[in-house]
Amino acid sequence: MRFDIITIFPELFQGVLDCGILRRARRSGILDVRVVSLRDFAADRHRQVDDRPYGGGEGMVLMPGPLFAAVEFCRGGENGRKAQVVLLSPQGRLWSQEMATEFAAFPHAILICGRYEGVDQRVVDGLVDREVSIGDFILTGGEIPAMVILDTVVRLLPGALGNQESAVNESFCTGLLDYPQYTRPAEFRGMSVPEVLISGDHARIDQWRKERALQKTRECRPEMVKK
């Protein structure tokens, strides 16, 4: 899968792309990520990509020219290959595991990292296929949401995880939160691993995990149980 990420702070992605699953996926050829500096597409020598909004108001707005040029570059030209163009924005649809699964089927996605007071509406109308938000809160820009999307999607790609069942048996994938996990030692500071988990009875273990997942979801996310 191919990701192009358009940002005014490309250096923010260096550490994320060079660690863990993302690093392995890139090295194995499962994932191709290109971080594109929006300032490379500015029309003036000062590399300006933002301006004051018409009608007045606080803050600055990302201009349409550099963004159109950057997206066309990522596509391979004005009439280049089709890709899902995604704007990271507080006004977007809330990101979910279901959306991550949908994105994992895309061959190419272009992520636009919003900044300041947002982007010129003509970018939304003329370029963007969908707007996405990672939560009902305000961040300083779309870079962290882009990292979240990248991480959640890549772990769903075949071969990205050592055991692909890990991506299936996780919170939200089954409609419930995950069950509690334990490892060695069997007793630690007076706290013991539940007996059922060391019993070797896989039917009982499976039932215990289902019950605990339901209990955890009822306690922490009751709206998921109702759904």
Helix axis angle, 20-28 relative to 143-154, nearest 10°? 60
Q: At residue 166, does pLDDT exceed 70?
A: no
CATH of 2-154, one of 3.30.420.40, 2.60.40.10, 3.40.1280.10, 3.40.50.720: 3.40.1280.10
Distances (CA, A) of 120 to 62, 105, 117: 6, 29, 9
How do the domains of the chain map onto residue ranges? Answer: 2-154, 169-226
pLDDT at 158: 95
Record the pTM: 0.87
Average pLDDT value over all residues in the chain: 93
pLDDT at 174: 77
Rounded distance between C-alpha atoms, residue 56 and residue 167, angstroms: 47
Q: At residue 78, does pLDDT exceed 70?
A: no
Structure-token pair, residue 24: 């392995």
pLDDT at 86: 98
Per CATH, the homologous superfamily of domain 169-226 is tRNA(m1g37)methyltransferase, domain 2 (1.10.1270.20)
